[in-house]
Amino acid sequence: MVAPPILARVFRGSRLESVHRGSVAVVDQDGSVVASAGSRREGIYLRSAAKPFQAMALLDAGGDKAFRLGSDEIALLCASHGGEPRHVRVAARLLSRGGFTVEDLACGAHLPMHEPSARALIAAGKTPTALHNNCSGKHAGLLLACRLRGFEPETYWKPEHPIQGVVLERLSAFASILPARIGTAVDGCSLPVFYMPLEALALGYARLIARRGTREGADETVPERICRAMWESPGMVAGKDRFTTEFLEAGRKRWIGKEGAEGVYSIGIAAGGKHGRSLGIAFKLEDGSSRARDAVALNILAQLDRLPASSEASLSRHLAPTVTNARGFDVGRIVADVPLRNL
């Protein structure tokens, strides 16, 4: 196995301390490769980058109208949220629309990823529930989808449950890969996690933002509704102090982005400008870390000439993050420099 290239370097003082390697795939909405680094055909687990497609199990069945979902609710379906009070509220609201409760969630509990929310919970003498799990919106959406489609909801999280077949079909259509060629394992939230080539994930995001990939007879507004929800409620997709939220705020109508665990990130860029094609970007840091992820995402966008100066300014703290220590001293920095080919 050839080592993938270094995508980001971590400096302490003037010297290199650590590096992050990885692979990148950039394709257009037709699947043509626009650029790559490392192995674009490398198989990866999508982790939470699959959430917009998992949300389709509900939206494709008309869940939007049936459960009166606003952008907050739809954005939370696609979220790896911080477990802030607002996220917990919307997750509970989603559940209640289908007559479900927190007991029906199979995601398990963990402390809010948003640290101040975690501290507030502990300080109040409370323990986290499944609503605080960053995947609670996705899980609530699958429960609602079961209600709407007449599936028994108890085992919605098992790979053999019919709702998982619906998810697989949607992912397959957007990523343009046969369901039989999509591998599965168990995700952090106990749902099936999907495995496919990096470039297939990139294509899924290109087609999502291009509103392609919908099957015959499907509601063609679903991909658009998902993108609109992410732009209208970016705080629901991630949360306070999170890159994805600021990235969505900066890229309204221009791009969507979603992180996955283990160093995965995926971006859809809307057609426009001199390029005239929708693009999908997917990358994975081979060590599974996240600290260089945001800088790598922005570096790729800049190299593709798709990062306007105004966005570069508003996202500047993510471009070359500083490394600080316990006293807040600036002791180093993370520098992304992705060796893209085929530009």
26: left (phi over 0), alpha (psi -120 to 50) or beta: beta
Taking alpha carbons only, the member of 252, 249, 299 closest to residue 6 is 299
Among 33, 104, 148, 195, binds a copy of itself (CB under 8 A): 195
Could you say whether residue 306 binds a copy of itself (CB under 8 A)? no
Could you say whether residue 31 binds a copy of itself (CB under 8 A)? no
From 9-17, 66-74, 169-177, 212-220, give the range in contact with a copy of itself by CB under 8 A. Answer: 9-17
3-state secondary structure of 181: helix
From 15-23, 74-82, 299-307, 309-317, give the range in contact with a copy of itself by CB under 8 A. Answer: 15-23
Could you say whether residue 155 binds a copy of itself (CB under 8 A)? no
Counted residue by residue, the chain has a size of 343
Would you say 25 or 107 has its CB closer to a copy of itself? Answer: 107
From 8-16, 161-169, 233-241, 306-314, give the range in contact with a copy of itself by CB under 8 A. Answer: 8-16
Could you say whether residue 286 binds a copy of itself (CB under 8 A)? yes
- The CB-based long-range contact list for 267-271 (8 Å cut-off, 24+ gap) reads 267/205, 267/297, 267/300, 267/301, 268/205, 268/206, 268/208, 268/209, 268/210, 268/227, 269/206, 269/209, 269/301, 269/304, 269/306, 270/209, 270/210, 271/29, 271/210
Could you say whether residue 185 binds a copy of itself (CB under 8 A)? yes
Could you say whether residue 183 binds a copy of itself (CB under 8 A)? yes
Would you say 201 or 269 has its CB closer to a copy of itself? Answer: 201
Q: In the 3-class helix/strand/coil scheme, how is 56-96 assigned residue by residue?
A: HHHHCCCHHHHCCCCHHHHHHHCCCCCCCHHHHHHHHHHHH
* Gyration radius (Cα) of the chain, Å: 19
Could you say whether residue 274 binds a copy of itself (CB under 8 A)? no
User: Is residue 37 within 8 Å of residue 338, measured between CB atoms?
Assistant: yes
Q: Which two tokens stand for residue 43?
A: 């198989």
Among 33, 66, 92, 109, binds a copy of itself (CB under 8 A): 109
- DSSP string of 185-204, one letter each residue: EE-TTSSEEEEEEHHHHHHH
Could you say whether residue 53 binds a copy of itself (CB under 8 A)? no
Taking alpha carbons only, the member of 266, 343, 276 closest to residue 34 is 343
Could you say whether residue 265 binds a copy of itself (CB under 8 A)? no
Would you say 64 or 286 has its CB closer to a copy of itself? Answer: 286
Distance of alpha carbon 167 from alpha carbon 109, whole angstroms: 23
Among 12, 41, 158, 181, binds a copy of itself (CB under 8 A): 12
Could you say whether residue 169 binds a copy of itself (CB under 8 A)? no
Distance of alpha carbon 339 from alpha carbon 337, whole angstroms: 6
Could you say whether residue 7 binds a copy of itself (CB under 8 A)? no
Query: Site for a copy of itself (CB under 8 A): how many residues?
Result: 50
2: Cα within 13 Å, side-chain hemisphere: 10
Would you say 58 or 106 has its CB closer to a copy of itself? Answer: 106
List the interface residues with a copy of itself, window 199-258 (CB under 8 A): none
Kindly list the residues in this chain that would bind a copy of itself in the complex (CB under 8 A).
1, 3, 6, 10, 12-15, 17-21, 43-45, 106-110, 119, 122-123, 125, 133, 183-190, 193, 195, 262-263, 285-289, 325-329, 331-332
